[in-house]
Chains A and B, each alone.
Chain A
């Protein structure tokens, strides 16, 4: 997959910057980035035998709000299932709709609690290198 993400400073909360070749990869990078905040060792969870799969179908106003709504939906499921969902398989993605299956792993304890994924100053932009880039603020 061609995406990268990293955490940025914020006075109170956490910002996640994601860069990717395509919209789909941008979504996948954001899903993985959120998993990193919730449970930093999420990569080692992939060997777990127990997995949880959930289907998500969502409509939203536009690409940007769709991304946040998608992440919030995953966050809700994480809280209810006490699981981290670092993996998504996207079946359909348009400017305002997504159909995906997410895969998660039950955990003993979250590293950090995310109250919500916010729409604060949200933009999906094209970089000079023709990559897609966004910065997401998580309320901690």
Chain B
């Protein structure tokens, strides 16, 4: 295990494990954390996994971990690694099984007091409209041909079908569609898994929340984002569902059998990888993009069903506008200056949110002067944050945290708190909870997670993204 003395303190919010720590390290490993949070991080294997990540072929600058990092199954969750396109690898395990798991935020023009009388009804209606997918799922079952369209066009497919407004596409990472996606690189099994899961949340920490803006930290950015105090918002956290899981499973299996051919050795099988520029690497990259498109389409359709529920209960007094939609598990090609040369890198973010600064060509026109909205959810019943991307985040490949990060196993959480207690506690605080099953709810209890306030403080102080607004839950919806 890694000890505190193995790390060098770079500043109050950044620590480094030097390249000399292990002979095979290609770059140093860095973790953004406060000293207090570091003590917590050292309790699991996340930094060991970060060192493993830093040993991979073609990794650039540093292997990085965010303050919400925790032990995963190859690289840590909350990890970022950027690989040289010529010398480096591409690894499905470093993107994770939930390809393009991410956040979408919808904003209303109403204040909390205006929806309060309807809150219970609204929560019920959304609960019915947006299933988890663990039960019967959606009645709509897309044909394989329709799934191919979604994989190719992402959320834009639902704009064509008039489920969305133009703004839904404009205010979304990559406009909801990675154009290099290739549906033919996605297996039939993956497509079958995706047929009835469009518009479903999934389980675990995925959720939909009705929230209110509790505090504004940056007035200028809040105004640009359309946020104001006491405003009602809706946050959606989910990804590419079974389709994305299958794409990752298929390619990790395939790459395990190819590593001999490419003479690649990895510290853990879940790092299975091939050269980025190889035909095999490109097969995965285009399949991953297709799954990412599916995820944007999924979140877009959840927004559509949420709007239907909203209109039914709240009526025409306000609609729900998209603030932004951003991934936290994805691989993208981005340009960075490395050793005074501009280089394109394959940035693998696994549990890390992109945080582009003002004037970046990849963010929507309306946010050009202020920077990209960054959406970071808290654990169940705790606050979530809207932040804004910064120039300083260049040092972390424009990446920041993605959530609270687990500190306690599911089993331990269940031992510490009962689901009944959790629900009662939320109720006491005026938070409605809608879930088909309360059995495992306590696994997601806040006690099992790091304190979101500490995570946000680290990324804010480290300059990886700046606080704009804090959102607190009014109703938590886990899906039927």
- Same complex for A and B? Answer yes
Segment with Cβ contacts to B, from A18-26, A86-94, A103-111, A125-133:
A103-111
CA distance A24 to B246 in the complex (A): 25
A76 touches B246 (CB 8 A): yes
* CB of A56 to closest CB in B, whole Å: 12
Binary CB contact string for chain A from 50 to 74 against chain B (1 if under 8 A, 0 otherwise): 0000000000110001000100100
CA distance A10 to B411 in the complex (A): 8
- B73 at the A/B interface (Cβ < 8 Å)? yes
Q: Can you spell out 23 A-B residue pairs with CB atoms less than 8 angstroms apart?
A: A10-B71, A11-B409, A12-B70, A12-B71, A13-B72, A13-B73, A14-B410, A76-B249, A79-B242, A80-B193, A82-B136, A82-B137, A108-B135, A109-B437, A111-B439, A113-B204, A115-B97, A116-B248, A118-B270, A119-B268, A120-B268, A120-B269, A140-B204
B252 touches A119 (CB 8 A): yes
CA distance A13 to B73 in the complex (A): 9
Chain A residues with Cβ under 8 A from B272's Cβ? 119
Which 8 A-B residue pairs are closest in the complex by CB-CB distance? A119-B269, A109-B135, A120-B73, A9-B409, A115-B97, A113-B203, A116-B97, A118-B73
Chain A residues with Cβ under 8 A from B22's Cβ? none
Binary CB contact string for chain B from 61 to 96 against chain A (1 if under 8 A, 0 otherwise): 000000000111110010000000000000000001
Chain B residues with Cβ under 8 A from A45's Cβ? none
CA distance A109 to B478 in the complex (A): 14
Most interface-central of A7, A12, A79 (chain B CB within 10 A): A12
- B10 at the A/B interface (Cβ < 8 Å)? no
* CB of A124 to closest CB in B, whole Å: 13
Shortest Cβ distance from B49 into A: residue: A120
Shortest Cβ distance from A114 into B: residue: B245
- B202 at the A/B interface (Cβ < 8 Å)? yes
- B253 at the A/B interface (Cβ < 8 Å)? yes
Chain B residues with Cβ under 8 A from A9's Cβ? 409, 411-412
CA distance A54 to B355 in the complex (A): 46
Chain A residues with Cβ under 8 A from B193's Cβ? 76, 79-80
A80 touches B192 (CB 8 A): yes
CA distance A121 to B77 in the complex (A): 16
CA distance A12 to B402 in the complex (A): 15
- A28 at the A/B interface (Cβ < 8 Å)? no
**Which chain B residues in 250-289 approach chain A with CB under 8 Å?**
252-253, 256-257, 268-270, 272
Interface range for A: 20 to 34
A112 touches B440 (CB 8 A): yes
Chain A residues with Cβ under 8 A from B383's Cβ? none
B203 touches A11 (CB 8 A): no
- A137 at the A/B interface (Cβ < 8 Å)? yes
A10 touches B409 (CB 8 A): yes
CA distance A8 to B137 in the complex (A): 30
* CB of A7 to closest CB in B, whole Å: 7
With A111-B439, A121-B268 as known contacts, state yes or no: A11 contacts B411, CB within 8 Å: no
A11 touches B44 (CB 8 A): yes
CA distance A76 to B247 in the complex (A): 11
A137 touches B73 (CB 8 A): yes
- B77 contact from A7, A12, A60, A119, Cβ within 8 A: A12
CA distance A140 to B412 in the complex (A): 15
- B189 at the A/B interface (Cβ < 8 Å)? yes
A111 touches B437 (CB 8 A): yes
Chain B residues with Cβ under 8 A from A110's Cβ? 134-135, 203
* CB of A130 to closest CB in B, whole Å: 26
- B331 at the A/B interface (Cβ < 8 Å)? no
- A139 at the A/B interface (Cβ < 8 Å)? yes
* CB of A55 to closest CB in B, whole Å: 15
Chain A residues with Cβ under 8 A from B253's Cβ? 60, 65, 69, 72
B268 touches A11 (CB 8 A): no
Chain B residues with Cβ under 8 A from A121's Cβ? 268
